[in-house]
Amino acid sequence: MAKVIGLTGNEAIAYAVKQCDVDVIAAYPITPQTIMVELLSEYVYNGEINAEFVCVESEHSATSACVGASLTGARVFTATASQGLALMHEMLYIASGLRCPIVMGVANRALSAPLNIHGDHSDMMGSRDCGWMQVYAENAQEAYDWIIQSFKIAEDPRVLLPISVNIDGFILSHSMERVEVLEDEDVSRFLPPRKPVITIDPAKPITVGALCLPDYYFEMKRQQVHALNESYNVIREVNKDFESFTGRRYDLLETYGMSDAEAAIISLGSTAGTAKAVAMDLRDEGKKVGVIKPWVYRPFPDEDLIKAVGDAETLAVLDRACSFGAPFNALCSDVVAALYRYGKSSVKVFNCVYGLGGRDITPTDIRAIFNEALEAAKTGIVKEQLKFIGVRE
């Protein structure tokens, strides 16, 4: 059974974590994530959740506490944004290297300087290669659903890697939406208590985080690569179980209008919803456009992306972050690499940077991007391979 309630993105994540029978929450508040951990601290104080809430002095310490708790076999959650995620950077690699299935909520926010508290993807893109699985939600419902699935994915013995569920700062974190939530007992049936493979125990001492020199370090990293690749299958399995359980379908990515699309937009997070709305209008006008929305960014769903692209001739890839000095930005670089790898380098691609520091991207902006992509499909010429949308010159 399920019920419908109004929740912001932050509240949806906190509500899902409460239902997931977590043992330890360690976090430090930072805008626009603060409400996530404030609510969880209230749940712990009120006895709505039987968990230890660890108040720490920084985000670095929060992740450190999560690593320690996870190694004891606990189910663990943390949350952060922006400078907090940057401060965690060292510990992100340690969490993945020690195979800790931590789940983290991130309310994506711009990085300083200059100081900005609004949403873009600079924070997580700066940590995209830290060995964590990464999910981007379009709305509060997806954020709620992915949190529940993420614990099951991360804790699977074939994976044992941490995962972040990302929501756009303020756009999702502070906007209330209709969310269909499950009953507590239903979540418990879908997500049983964690069964750790190996735990630290004073009665059975083991070495954790030992010095690893050239004779073994490479092999350890190769194991992480294997686990992240294996997570493709686990994510799909959990998605199918969740669909059977709730009727809500998830996968590595979602598409709209791609069966006959000549041009398409690829984007992460909330912007994909706006792109789909504009695509609907354009298709009513007879224009063959589509949208590809990766739910999962790491591991990058390259095979699924290639299938989704189909016969489309032009792709406009939208990045809400800058890869300074690179030919393309993060998402576009991965898309171009996938196209090249699978022999589809003839597809014309251009990269649009948008929304930095929380600047809006409007339906009018997206319509213009679609029209430019359609023109490129028709003429075979991309006028600008890298564009900045909505920036004042």
Q: Are the folds of 2-246 and 253-388 the same?
A: yes
The residue with tokens 């419908």 is 4
Ranges of each domain in the chain: 2-246, 253-388
The arrangement of secondary structure in 2-246, i.e. its CATH architecture, is 3-Layer(aba) Sandwich (3.40)
Respond yes or no on whether the N-terminal peptide bond of residue 113 is cis (omega within 30° of 0): yes
Q: Give yes or no for a contact between 144 and 16, defined as CB atoms under 8 angstroms apart.
A: yes
CATH of domain 253-388: 3.40.50.920
Query: How does pLDDT run along the chain (393 residues), one tens digit per residue?
Result: 689 999 999 999 999 999 999 999 999 999 999 999 999 999 999 999 999 999 999 999 999 999 999 999 999 999 999 999 999 999 999 999 999 999 999 999 999 999 999 999 999 999 999 999 999 999 999 999 999 999 999 999 999 999 999 999 999 999 999 999 999 999 999 999 999 999 999 999 999 989 999 999 999 999 999 999 999 999 999 999 999 999 999 999 999 999 999 999 999 999 999 999 999 999 999 999 999 999 999 999 999 999 999 999 999 999 999 999 999 999 999 999 999 999 999 999 999 999 999 999 999 999 999 999 999 999 999 999 999 999 998
pTM for the whole thing?
Answer: 0.98
